[in-house]
Amino acid sequence: MSKQKNRIPAQSTHEMRKTLAADVRAYLDSGKEIEQVPSGVSGQDPLGSQRHIVLGNKKKA
């Protein structure tokens, strides 16, 4: 049995890109700036508390 991949239709992808471009333009036009972060730099505070990602809905007993 072959598995089908969930693919987004090309038109939908195009519309998402147009929406994203419009959102970015509105953000920049409001006077805000986008900061380019160098590759390898983390946005997490190294001295802050650690946050663990929980996958699934398992509850601890």
Please state, in angstroms and rounded to a whole number, the distance separating the CA atoms of residues 30 and 5. 39
Tell me what pLDDT residue 21 has.
97
Predicted structure pTM score: 0.49
Report how far apart, in Å, the C-alpha atoms of 9 and of each of 13, 16, 21, 23 are.
6, 11, 19, 21
Residue 13 above 80 pLDDT? Answer: yes
Pick from 54, 26, 1, 42: nearest CA to 34:
26
Please state, in angstroms and rounded to a whole number, the distance separating the CA atoms of residues 61 and 49. 24
> Taking all residues of the chain, what is their mean pLDDT, rounded to a whole number?
80
Grade residue 57 by pLDDT with cuts at 50, 70 and 90. Answer: confident
Please state, in angstroms and rounded to a whole number, the distance separating the CA atoms of residues 52 and 58. 14
